[in-house]
Amino acid sequence: MAADHDSVYEEFEGKIPLNLLDEVRESLPDKCNKTQLKKILEKVYAEYSTSMIEPGESVGLISAESIGEPGTQMTLNTFHFAGVAEFNVTVGLPRIIEILDGRKNISTPMMEIFLKEPYSQGKDIKELAESIRQAEFKDFAKEITLEITEGTLEVKLDMDKLKRVGLNEAALGKIMEKSLKGFTLKIKDDLMTIKSKTKGENISELYKLKEKVKSVYVAGIKGILQVLPVKRENEFVIITAGSNLRDVYKLDFIDKKRTTTNDVFEIEDFLGIEAARQSVINEVFKVIENQGLNVDIRHIMLVADTMTLGGKVRGITRYGVVSDKASVLARASFETPIKHIVEAALIGEIDPLTSVVENVMINQPVPVGTGLPELVSKKQ
Amino acid sequence: MDEEIYVYKKVEAIKFGVLSPKMIKQMSAVKIVTPELYDKEGSPVDGGLMDTRLGVIDPGLKCKTCGSKLKECIGHFGYIELARPIVHIKFTKLILDLLRCTCKDCGRILIPDEELKKTVKKSEKIAKSKTAKAKRIVVKETILKLKTVSKCPHCKAKLEKIKLEKPTTFMEGERRLSPIEVRTRLEKIPDEDIDLFGINPSVMRPEWAIMTLMSIPPVTMRPSITLESGERSEDDLTHKLGDVVRINQRLFENINAGAPEIIIEDLWDLLQYHITTFFDNNVAQLPPARHRSGQPLKTITERIKSKEGRIRHNLAGKRTNFSSRTVISPDSMIDLDEVGVPLTIAMKLTVPEKITEWNFEYLKEYVKRGPKVYPGANYISRPDGKKKKITEETLQALLEELQIGYVVERHLIEGDIAIFNRQPSLHRMSMMCHKIKVLPGLTFRLNPAVCAPYNADFDGDEMNLHVPQTEEARAEAEILMEVQTQLISPRYGLGIIACNHDSIGGNYMLTKMIEMPRTDAVQLLASVGIEEFGSLPDKEIVNGREIFSVLLPKDFEFTGKARDGTKVVIQKGKLKEGFMDSANLGSGSGLLIRNLHKRYGAERALKILGAMFRLGVKTLLYHGFTAAFSDTDLKTENDQEIQNVLKEAEHKVDEFIEVYKKGNLDIFPGRTAEETLEIKILESLNKARNDAGRVVSKSLDRTKNTLIMSLSGARGNIINLAQMAAVVGQQALRGKRIEKGYKGRTLSCFRRGDLRSNARGFIRHGFRQGLTPAEFFFMAMTGRDSLMDTALRTPKSGYLYRRLANAMQDMRVEYDYTVRNASKRIVQFSYGEDKIDVSKSEGGKINVKRIVESVMEGE
């Protein structure tokens, strides 16, 4: 029976997109026979053909409208609470602007770290989460005192915390020595004394040293500032504030297939442009969904494709996508017209008048939609 | 008839370039030598800036260069000879790069010969295969490399560092380079080398960046205006040019008189300033040139730049005739694809109609009635294009003149096509084509069902109406823009034009709870515009579902769900089960309407939708519908329950505060104690509000009108109702409780540091009970905040939209279903990965399930 069906499916492959065929497969009742299937597929094909986009359709503008129009309905409140009352996340219009601008430094980088079994069921979840977090020296210090007479810093260490990340005082000392040059370290039990090698220290120097020592990176993953294990449906997920995909992927207890970040550039850097494209789609879609709006995925795809067209993620700005336009007038009509005209004049640039605004400017039909077809007649 | 000969011309491309001094001289009609504009009699001075050889701006005068009159002569350029060369402000960066990267003695580019060949080859290759942008990037790299070279590889001359002292002074080490020196250096650069700087030698020579001649724009682009007092007021550009010419003449005189160097230098700098501000009056280091009133002059750059500039305002934005604008008001009795046009407008706007053998008599009648009797005509035009106005005096003569081939511009009549638009035009449904219906009154009338796509309401909104003037435009408008073609939104593939407000509430009541005598039902249906009552059951009392079913096609089958999950079944065009609400009728979902559209096409769906809309409205009209004060009545025990909930919440908040003050609060990781407290308080207060809402919805009578509005999805939700009946709830400012106002407190009636719920913006009364003064202020605060939010958001989202539209406007689907941009570059190999047009799909999908079901059932 199933083999029978396969031959029918094959017939329609290439005619109907694969995802539609799969959908037919799924929703097909068991009792369906070959002729019925054929009829179904023919009907699907008929409907598909009438639903196809028409050549010449100005899809770019439709997508721009579809994303731009609901923009007026989105909230501007930058900060909102995600899931649990924990992290700040940029949502709404500011987030959309941030993504489409192609900003390198986003305002609230975040990661969602999925875990492998058995950790995903909650095994050692707190410890795992804590081990990821970027830990600085100050996290392990119970107390830091300035010994002004001696010109030294005395630090009381929190041994429990150290143990939790698998370090002891000696190991900590080594790390500290590596990143602090020109200082001597003495460790006695849980007391660490830091002294500058140069003599004649004054108080302000010492104070500076204290601040410097506090922020020495000790353990965890750089850039992960906060961690939060959350139970989601039937598994535990670690949500982090701050993001470092490359280093997180080195961990062996994470589920690499699903772990992700909201930083598009990090994804581009580490996983490549196709992943970055998907990331743009996901991030934009997330915001729009979150705002209770309805925008078809195809529009977002087209925007993502425009942004990632050149193999690099570029924002929809005058430095990014718009600067690629072949037409001088199209660029000039967007922003900084004088600059574009002067530059064009120097190299004697030719505007081919192949896109929309230039033709609007000179009162000619635009080459999209019904402006596209031309009539050719033979001279007798 | 004579064969009409059309010559079609098309602009293929536009080439940009720089005018050479020679060219400036050759294209000039006159050399300007005097700053004076007019002589004593007020006529333009020869050789002045208003010289009649530059074009005409006065009616009646003729241009001395081309002999044409005003509006025919487009104007002619002139020139002045500058006493000393002047740096062109827009080229300073280019000059700097050139000076830095070429030798001051031999003029060659600072690349050694052996490397030069390679570089040239590379540059040529890029020029051939890549875009102008790619070339610019390479040029930038080259310049960056050469900046630091200190010895010429060709003649071994030692080079000093050259700096640009903004805006226009070049310094070599400590010495100032005069524009003359700069020019001689630029002259030395050979043509072969300048290509590497991204300059095309066929359109530009480096020395042209230093001006020796200046082009004077024609008077037609800087017309003077005559004030009422008879005084002439000159354009900003003329003022600026006057300065330039005056200083230039002074400089000439001083040089000829052999004045001391220092005076000449000063004048030279002044001339530089005037010419710089003539091109750009917004240069960072220069004070802008001003009018006597202190307002900065608008010179060339300001004319082109920004939203009000030439490009965006005049070139990319067009104005139209044959349009009108007035206030809109609703009329559900006209069809959705109609627009009611006031008679006065219908008599002003016209449609040209060509006289043929067949409509001669018919059009003659229009002309006979003239412009003052509706439906008449305002103009006739002869085949040679001459247009004549119809007036009482000319009427008789024109009637006799009228013959085949003439065009009559007649008044608008019912059924004419017009494009209706409301700003902001954010999507394509903001401009739709309607059929005109001439109505009394002074406002445009539209069916409330099309408010959604226009985002219009009737609180004073105005809309625009455009009347297409050619057959092609009308056809295109009708096929592409008519209301029925826009029923489905291309944004999400569901209906956007659908029932709303009263029509949903009316249909909900009708299909859920109303029964009436058959005679009344017929009356109701007739008022909706139904004339065929055969399908209404022949019994004494008919119910609402039967009345509603009359509108449906006889063979319509549908199963769906209402908002609350009730099954809705329609069999053979009869509503068997369930009732109508916003899930089936409303926009953004409107499944019933979506199905009708799929099955019977846009035209019929639109007709049914119009009837449904009217049915809902009329039902409410006949049945009566008021949001009464008593709708918010709660039963005593429910009221008590709500009070308990609130008390409990307040108590809980107090407890939290106490724990916090003792310092025993469980602090959330990554938060301070204060933040944790706030989160906990907010949580419990919100919970209280929601609990109260639940009690309200449980308590209220389901036949109360206010609740019906909410249940049917017509307007409002249950929370609004709870806010009226029970408790308004916590007012949030930027996602927090209200904390600003006075030092340490929100309002002066509270103690400092009071964290309790009522001191931080919790409104524990409902609107029905009334708010306390403090609560009222809290409400006003959040109200103001949300106003600000909207005010800030609009420009932000507007800019995002503009960027998106600008970046993506040239993308289109090709015949092979790839999406490409204007440079023919492939953006997507297959539109949306499956080539489906969202506006032809159902929510972006093809409903496979329905097809499977229909085939399986059909067998």
CATH match for B323-486 among 3.30.565.10, 2.40.40.20, 2.60.40.420, 2.60.40.1930: 2.40.40.20
Question: What predicted TM-score, i.e. pTM, was given to this entire model?
Answer: 0.89
Residue type, A170: A
A353 and B11 within 8 Å at the Cβ level: the answer is: yes
pLDDT in tens, B771-807: 999 999 999 998 998 888 888 888 989 999 999 999 9
Domain ranges across chain B = 87-207, 323-486, 501-623, 630-787, 810-859
The verdict on residue A25 lying in a domain is yes
pLDDT bracket for residue A80 (50, 70, 90): very low
Q: Which of A2-16, A108-122, B462-476 has the highest mean pLDDT?
A: B462-476
- Is residue B632 within 8 A of residue B735, CB to CB? The reply is no
In angstroms, the separation between the Cα of residue B481 and the nearest Cα of chain A is 12
Site from A59, A238, A366 to mutate, B interface, most B CB atoms within 10 angstroms = A59
pLDDT recorded at residue A78: 52
Instruction: With H, G, I as helix, E, B as strand and everything else as coil, classify residue B444.
Output: strand
In angstroms, the separation between the Cα of residue B292 and the nearest Cα of chain A is 28
A177 and chain B in contact, CB less than 8 A:
no
- Is residue A149 within 8 A of residue A127, CB to CB? The reply is no
- Is residue A76 within 8 A of residue B792, CB to CB? The reply is yes
Residue numbers in B near A69 (CB within 8 A): 426-427, 491, 801
The verdict on residue A122 lying in a domain is no
- Is residue B10 within 8 A of residue B217, CB to CB? The reply is no
Q: Name the domain boundary from A203, A219, A235.
A: A219
- Is residue B281 within 8 A of residue B289, CB to CB? The reply is yes
Q: Name the domain boundary from A191, A219, A247.
A: A219
ipTM score over 0.95, yes or no: no
Residue carrying the six token digits 């309790």: B756
Tokens standing for residue B11: 């602009």
CATH number reported for the structural domain that contains residue A207 in this entry: 3.30.1360
> Which residues in B217-307 belong to E strands, given as ranges?
225-226, 232-233
A330 and B837 within 8 Å at the Cβ level: the answer is: no
Q: Name the domain boundary from A50, A68, A83.
A: A50
Residue numbers in A near B196 (CB within 8 A): none
- The closest CB to that of A353, out of B12, B806, B814, belongs to B12
Residue carrying the six token digits 């002003």: B348
Residue carrying the six token digits 């009381």: A156
Task: Considering only residues B268 and A5, tell me which one the structure prediction assigns the higher pLDDT.
Answer: B268
CATH architecture assigned to B501-623: Orthogonal Bundle (1.10)
The verdict on whether omega for the bond into residue B424 sits within 30 degrees of 0, i.e. cis, is yes
B810 and A356 within 8 Å at the Cβ level: the answer is: yes
The verdict on residue A376 lying in a domain is no
The verdict on residue A229 lying in a domain is no
Taking each helix axis from N to C terminus, what angle separates A264-271 and A273-290, rounded to the nearest 10 degrees? 150
The verdict on whether omega for the bond into residue B167 sits within 30 degrees of 0, i.e. cis, is yes
Lowest mean pLDDT among A132-136, A323-327, B469-473, B645-649: A132-136
Average pLDDT over residues A36-63: 89
A87 has a pLDDT exceeding 80 = no
- Is residue A298 within 8 A of residue A53, CB to CB? The reply is no
Tokens standing for residue B284: 């960072």
- Is residue B584 within 8 A of residue B560, CB to CB? The reply is yes
State the total domains in chain A.
Answer: 3
Task: For B514, list phi and psi in degrees, rounded to 5.
Answer: -105, 140
Measure the CA–CA gap between A113 and A261, rounded to whole angstroms: 8
The verdict on whether omega for the bond into residue B517 sits within 30 degrees of 0, i.e. cis, is no
A83 has a pLDDT exceeding 50 = no
**Could you tell me the CA-to-CA distances from B682 to A85, B539, B725, B736, B767 in Å, in that order?**
10, 58, 21, 8, 21
The verdict on residue A349 lying in a domain is yes
Average pLDDT over residues A120-134: 79
B660 and chain A in contact, CB less than 8 A:
no
Strand A226-232's sheet: what is its strand order? A226-232, A235-241, A110-114, A260-261
Q: What's the CATH class of domain B630-787?
A: mainly alpha
Task: Considering only residues B590 and A119, tell me which one the structure prediction assigns the higher pLDDT.
Answer: A119
What is the span of the domain harbouring residue A199? 135-219
B808 and A299 within 8 Å at the Cβ level: the answer is: no
> Which residues in B26-103 belong to E strands, given as ranges?
28-31, 77-87
pLDDT recorded at residue B1: 45
pLDDT bracket for residue A85 (50, 70, 90): very low
A309 and B789 within 8 Å at the Cβ level: the answer is: no
pLDDT recorded at residue A210: 76
- Is residue B38 within 8 A of residue B231, CB to CB? The reply is no
**Mean model confidence pLDDT for chain A:** 82
* Chain A stretch 33-62, residues whose beta carbon is closer than 8 A to a beta carbon of chain B: 36, 39-40, 43-44, 47-48, 50-62
* Chain B stretch 782-801, residues whose beta carbon is closer than 8 A to a beta carbon of chain A: 789, 792-794, 796-798, 800-801
B426 and A69 within 8 Å at the Cβ level: the answer is: yes
* Chain B stretch 453-512, residues whose beta carbon is closer than 8 A to a beta carbon of chain A: 476, 480, 490-494
Q: How far from chain centre, in Å, is Cα B66?
A: 42
Measure the CA–CA gap between B510 and B623, rounded to whole angstroms: 9
HSE-CB for B667 with a 13 A CA cutoff: 12
pLDDT in tens, A336-364: 888 889 888 888 888 888 889 999 999 88
- Is residue B779 within 8 A of residue B771, CB to CB? The reply is yes
Residues of chain B below pLDDT 50:
1
DSSP-H helix ranges across B716-772:
718-725
Q: How far from chain centre, in Å, is Cα B147?
A: 45
Indicate the DSSP class of residue B499: B
The verdict on residue A278 lying in a domain is no
Nearest CA in chain A to B820: A60
pLDDT recorded at residue A266: 92
In this structure, the number of other CB atoms found within 10 A of the CB of residue B112 comes to 11
- The closest CB to that of B809, out of A44, A54, A357, belongs to A357
CATH number reported for the structural domain that contains residue A358 in this entry: 1.10.150.390
Instruction: With H, G, I as helix, E, B as strand and everything else as coil, classify residue B479.
Output: helix
Measure the CA–CA gap between A197 and A181, rounded to whole angstroms: 9
Give the total residue count for chain B: 859
B232 and chain A in contact, CB less than 8 A:
no
pLDDT in tens, A228-246: 787 777 888 888 888 888 8
